[in-house]
Chain A
Amino acid sequence: MSEKKQQVSRRQFLNYTLTGVGGFMAAGMLVPMLRMAVDPVLQPSTAGDYANVGLSVDDITDTPQRVDWKVDQVDGWYESKVSRSAWVFKDDKNEILALSPVCTHLGCVVSWEGSDNYPNEFFCPCHNGRYEKDGTNIPGTPPLAPLHVYDQKVENGILYLGDAKPR
């Protein structure tokens, strides 16, 4: 105290040291816990693999047909097969289009010409949601977005589908 050069007192030094050491100890405990908790956020998405849906490209017509297939789903330590389905057809440009049947309103399942009153449209029975053949939602019906489209590729004349993505 008497010396002017002494800028850090003994008490301050000990305080800093204790706080620093305590901080390191607290961080050493908390960092692994927090890293563990946020791990799912930092994992690369497991989605994205293509699956053989068991449909030959030659069998795809310009009328939407429903295809069902199973994909392997890995949920942490739990592996299972889950069902997927799609409405597959060839559009005006003769390109294959695979639409997700999940209504963008509240997640019910739509069907092609699901209502006799609305021919040539996808129809959702839950709240009368309707979509054009290309999946565009019809204004004035509940859905506010078009049907999602599956990523697709063709190998050896067989259709493979990936994830359904919004347009």
Chain B
Amino acid sequence: MLQKIYDWIDDRVDITPIWRDIADHEVPEHVNPAHHFSAFVYCFGGLTFFVVVIQILSGMFLTMYYVPDIENAWKSVYYLQTQVAHGQIVRGMHHWGASVVIVMLLLHTLRVFFQGAYKKPRELNWMVGVLLFFVMLGLGFTGYLLPWDNKAYFATQVGLEIAEQVPFIGDYLKTLLAGSDHIVGAQTLTRFFAIHVFFLPGALFALLAVHFILIRRQGISGPL
């Protein structure tokens, strides 16, 4: 049945070449942990992506309950955490995953760094990776405020004061982030929500696409 559906589609739009381009390629021996166990270090990039997928999915489901409003944000998080079946698990995945993704990302970066895999011709992909790192930090920073509890509020206060230290544009940057020049409040929460849920994920998808296309174009760097 599935084969028939596949054939029906393939007949009309010829998807096999697309599918081959994306998925059907050999994993070089030096990258395969089945051949050399130490090759597990090559898994860190993929694991980072795996955790990112978890973050995206759990985040999508969290927005079914979460409201970015200072009266209700904390209450909605409390509700989904205590009343909704498995809400605690989904929020737990998003909460812990946010830390795991940074850990994985750092391990992946260390592997690329110590193997010198960033060298010519892969410099561009290193730069894209660094941008991805910044996007991740931004996601972590903006997501931290969303539960609107004391820790979130004061962490953001500190974060905004750090942004304020940027030379020349610091004040504007802070206002642009917080939505107000002296209040961390209703407008800050909606802004951070928008950045966390729309702007940064958009940038993340675009950069991930470039990151992966470059890997396919250039291949994985050779053995040490």
B partners with A: yes
**Quick check: is B78 within 8 A (CB to CB) of the other chain?**
no
**Is the pair A40, B176 in contact by a Cβ cutoff of 8 Å?**
yes
Which residues of B156-205 have CB atoms within 8 Å of chain A's CB atoms? 157, 172, 175-176, 178-183, 185-187
Q: How many chain A residues touch the partner (CB < 8 A)?
A: 13
Question: Could you say which residues of chain B place their CB within 8 Å of the CB of A40?
Answer: 175-176, 178-181, 187
**Is the pair B70, A78 in contact by a Cβ cutoff of 8 Å?**
yes
**Is the pair B182, A47 in contact by a Cβ cutoff of 8 Å?**
yes
A146 to B123 alpha-carbon distance, docked (Å): 48
A37 to B191 alpha-carbon distance, docked (Å): 9
Name the distance in Å between A35's Cβ and chain B's nearest Cβ: 13
Measuring CB to CB, which residues of chain A are less than 8 angstroms from any residue of chain B? 37-38, 40-41, 43, 45, 47, 73, 75-78, 107
**Is the pair B176, A41 in contact by a Cβ cutoff of 8 Å?**
yes
**Is the pair B176, A76 in contact by a Cβ cutoff of 8 Å?**
no
Additional 10 contacts, C-beta under 8 A, given A37-B176, A40-B178: A38-B176, A40-B176, A40-B179, A43-B181, A73-B183, A75-B180, A75-B183, A75-B186, A76-B179, A76-B187
Given A40-B180, A40-B181, A45-B181; A76-B186 close (CB under 8 Å): yes
Measuring CB to CB, which residues of chain B are less than 8 angstroms from any residue of chain A? 70, 157, 172, 175-176, 178-183, 185-187
Give the residue of B70, B157, B172, B182 whose beta carbon is less than 8 angstroms from that of A41. B172
Question: Could you say which residues of chain B place their CB within 8 Å of the CB of A107?
Answer: 157
Nearest-neighbor residue (CB-CB) of A106 within chain B: B158
Question: Could you say which residues of chain A place their CB within 8 Å of the CB of B186?
Answer: 75-78
Question: Could you say which residues of chain A place their CB within 8 Å of the CB of B179?
Answer: 40, 76
A40 to B180 alpha-carbon distance, docked (Å): 6
A43 to B171 alpha-carbon distance, docked (Å): 13
What are 5 contact pairs spanning A and B, CB under 8 A? A38-B176, A40-B178, A45-B182, A76-B179, A76-B187
Name the distance in Å between A59's Cβ and chain B's nearest Cβ: 29
Question: Could you say which residues of chain B place their CB within 8 Å of the CB of A37?
Answer: 176
A47 to B183 alpha-carbon distance, docked (Å): 10
Question: Could you say which residues of chain B place their CB within 8 Å of the CB of A78?
Answer: 70, 185-186
Name the distance in Å between B190's Cβ and chain A's nearest Cβ: 8
A136 to B182 alpha-carbon distance, docked (Å): 24
Name the distance in Å between B182's Cβ and chain A's nearest Cβ: 6
Nearest-neighbor residue (CB-CB) of B179 within chain A: A40
**Is the pair B172, A76 in contact by a Cβ cutoff of 8 Å?**
no
A78 to B145 alpha-carbon distance, docked (Å): 18
Question: Could you say which residues of chain A place their CB within 8 Å of the CB of B181?
Answer: 40, 43, 45, 47
Question: Could you say which residues of chain B place their CB within 8 Å of the CB of A41?
Answer: 172, 175-176
Nearest-neighbor residue (CB-CB) of B173 within chain A: A41
Nearest-neighbor residue (CB-CB) of A77 within chain B: B186
A47 to B172 alpha-carbon distance, docked (Å): 16
Nearest-neighbor residue (CB-CB) of A44 within chain B: B181
Given A40-B175, A40-B187; A76-B180 close (CB under 8 Å): yes
A73 to B181 alpha-carbon distance, docked (Å): 13
A38 to B183 alpha-carbon distance, docked (Å): 16
Nearest-neighbor residue (CB-CB) of B169 within chain A: A41
Question: Could you say which residues of chain B place their CB within 8 Å of the CB of A45?
Answer: 181-182
Nearest 4 pairs between A and B by C-beta?
A75-B185, A78-B186, A76-B187, A75-B183
Question: Could you say which residues of chain B place their CB within 8 Å of the CB of A73?
Answer: 183, 185
Name the distance in Å between B202's Cβ and chain A's nearest Cβ: 13
Question: Could you say which residues of chain A place their CB within 8 Å of the CB of B175?
Answer: 40-41
Question: Could you say which residues of chain B place their CB within 8 Å of the CB of A38?
Answer: 176
